[in-house]
Amino acid sequence: MSKAVFDLVVISNRLPVDITSTDGGEVSWTRSPGGLVTALDPVMRDADAAWVGWSGAPDLELEPFDADGTFLVPVPLSASEVSEYYEGFSNDTLWPLYHDVIAPPAFHRAWWDVYRRVNARFAEAAAAQAAPGAKVWVHDYQLQLVPALLRQLRPDLEIGFFNHIPFPPYELFQQLPWRRQILDGLLGADVIGFQRPTDAANFRRCVTALTGVKARTEKFTVHEGEGYNRTIQASAFPISIDSKSFSALARKKSVRRRAQEIREELGNPRVVMLGVDRLDYTKGIRHRIKAYGELLEDGRVTPGDCTLVQVASPSRENVEAYQELREHVELLVGRLNGEYGQLGHTAIHYLHHSYPQAEMAALYLAADVMLVTSLRDGMNLVAKEYVAARSDLGGALVLSEFTGAADELTGAIMVNPHDIDGMKEALLDAANMTPDERRRRMLRLRRKVMSNDVTRWSKSFLSTLESLGATNHTASQS
């Protein structure tokens, strides 16, 4: 395929496929089940589109290739770049800083240098693929310098950026030694999207305080020289899931049968509680286990009557904060199971794996109570998947106030995960909720999730980008 021909170029840290290469150098790929892939699938298929991203493996040089009609452009990262750009600056500096400093962010100048270098590589790869005037959509905190770098290389492009994680309040963002460079990087975009209105407001406040650009409203202007003022929009575009297909998956006979089987494998308790997360300190896994553990200790629940299944998928295992979390969680689970488990009745079923979507759907169907207790979370799509799976109108959702999803999913039982007593009551309320109350709440939740799906999200972002891009294009010509 020749270069610079694509009308839409998506850039994200990871490519939307899982790539495996054999010792003989043969490469094969499978579509990864992540939310963004599903989100963009319909728009990618309709457009002449390319996707620029990392394969997920160090030191792997791959030629661009076609996967199910999308042109994939792999950006190589060396082992030391994976360590300093991905594990270091992205996941040990920005991630904790943007999630309320739940873990202390590490500031290392060497990591910053590599972050800059890798962002430039992504920008160059995208610039080489985009057709004149094309739309480029940059995703997430790993690539915040890309919008401005891309605008320098290709001023003709319409550039959008979407931040999947929270944007921190000024008082925290201020700590970052490279705060100004990050804001300048983002201001290269025409549209800067966030999960919640509060994230967008935090960003605009940082811009106003630190750059001299007055960003007091959703739309504001930056001076581009030669009398041209470019308009930027920074506002909320809450992401969702492919609600209809998830709902359909959960209605399949094989999935419903599997849900039944799971309950039997768990010893048919009265109540199954479920947590599904990446093993990440932002998710409040320890807080949730502590609340459940105290209910066992108080004798208000027993393992035979009410069991907890915790799926914790492996994540960022080379980063120390994640290693520590794993140790803490596993110690806690081991202690509680030792203390309160009975033969044939385990208190906590802890699974350090990831599962295919059909198995996830079966787990959701098998769970009477879904626990989403993040200390801070951009959106949390697990909460939305649970709701989409429950077309039977069964099941209760316990949801942290500190998730983006809490703005929309007001039919959930809301919790502050730091308030362990409050969580214990919420867990019991959810476990003992009447079927009528469950139905009433689930109907309310489903009205939101089934109508605000991910196609609506991507269409709304891209049409905003298109109209602002056109306005800016006309302004730059006049």
How crowded is residue 51: how many other Cβ atoms within 10 Å of its Cβ?
A: 28
Min dist CB 409 to ligand G6P, Å, is 18
Query: Cβ 267 to ligand G6P, closest distance in Å?
Result: 33
Residue found under tokens 């999960």: 195
Alpha-carbon span 332 to 411, nearest angstrom: 31
3-state secondary structure 86-122: HHHHHHHHHHHHHCCCCCCCCCCHHHHHHHHHHHHHH
Residue with Cβ nearer ligand G6P (163 or 235): 163
Does 164 participate in binding ligand G6P (rule CB under 6 A)?
Answer: yes
Amino acid at site 157: L
Does the protein bind ligand G6P through residue 315 (CB under 6 A)? yes
Nearer to ligand G6P, 315 or 471 (CB): 315
Residue from 72, 165, 371, 383 binding ligand G6P (CB under 6 A)? 165
- State which of positions 352-391 bind ligand G6P (CB under 6 A): none
- DSSP-assigned letter for residue 404: G
Helix axes 381-389, 243-251, angle to 10 degrees: 50
Contact assessment for residue 316 and residue 324, using Cβ atoms and an 8 Å cutoff: no
CB of 463 to ligand G6P, least distance (A): 23
Nearer to ligand G6P, 5 or 106 (CB): 106
Using CB under 6 A as the binding criterion, the count of chain residues that bind ligand G6P stands at 7
Based on the shown chain and the rule CB under 6 A, indicate whether residue 408 belongs to the binding site for ligand G6P.
Answer: no
CB 278 to ligand G6P: min, Å: 6
What is the C-alpha separation between 297 and 299, in angstroms, rounded? 5
When the beta carbons of 33 and 42 are compared against ligand G6P, the nearer one is 33
Nearer to ligand G6P, 91 or 243 (CB): 91
Question: Would you say 208 or 315 has its CB closer to ligand G6P?
Answer: 315
Using the rule CB under 6 A, is 326 a contact of ligand G6P? no
CA distances from 469 to 133, 137, 233, 463 (A): 9, 12, 11, 10
Tell me the closest approach of the beta carbon of residue 164 to ligand G6P, in angstroms: 4
Nearest alpha-carbon partner for 282 in 351, 200, 363, 380: 380
Q: Looking at beta carbons, which residue is closest to ligand G6P?
A: 164
Torsion of CA 401, 38, 146, 224, to 10 degrees: -80
63 Cβ neighbours under 8 A, 6+ residues apart: 74
Question: Residue 145 phi/psi, 5° resolution?
Answer: -90, -10
> Toward ligand G6P, which CB reaches closer, 35 or 417?
35
| Residue 301, helix vs strand vs coil | coil
- Nearer residue to ligand G6P within complex by CB, 140 or 158: 140
316 binds ligand G6P (CB under 6 A): yes
Q: Is 145 in the site for ligand G6P (CB under 6 A)?
A: no
Residues 6 or more apart from 110 whose CB is under 8 A from it? 84
Provide the terminal-to-terminal Cα distance of the chain, rounded to the nearest Å.
36
Which of the residues are catalytic?
Answer: 164, 377
Q: What mask, x for binding ligand G6P by CB under 6 A, covers residues 187 to 226?
A: ----------------------------------------
438 makes contact with ligand G6P (CB under 6 A) = no
CA distances from 161 to 41, 86, 188, 308 (A): 18, 19, 9, 38
Q: To the nearest 10°, the Cα dihedral for 292, 288, 246, 256?
A: -20
Is residue 140 within the footprint of ligand G6P (CB under 6 A)?
yes
Residue pointed to by tokens 């980063």: 319
Contact 183, 144 (CB under 8 A): no
Residue among 406, 197, 209, 431 at smallest CA distance from 308: 431
* In the complex, minimum distance from the CB of residue 88 to ligand G6P, in angstroms, rounded to a whole number: 12
Rounded to the nearest whole angstrom, what is the least distance from the CB of residue 56 to ligand G6P in the complex?
A: 8
Q: Which is nearer to ligand G6P, 84 or 140 (CB)?
A: 140
Six token digits for residue 274: 């479920």
Q: Rule CB under 6 A: choose which of 9, 10, 11, 14 binds ligand G6P.
A: 14
CB of 140 to ligand G6P, least distance (A): 4
Closest approach of ligand G6P to the CB of residue 39, in Å = 12
Binding site for ligand G6P (CB under 6 A): 13-14, 140, 164-165, 315-316
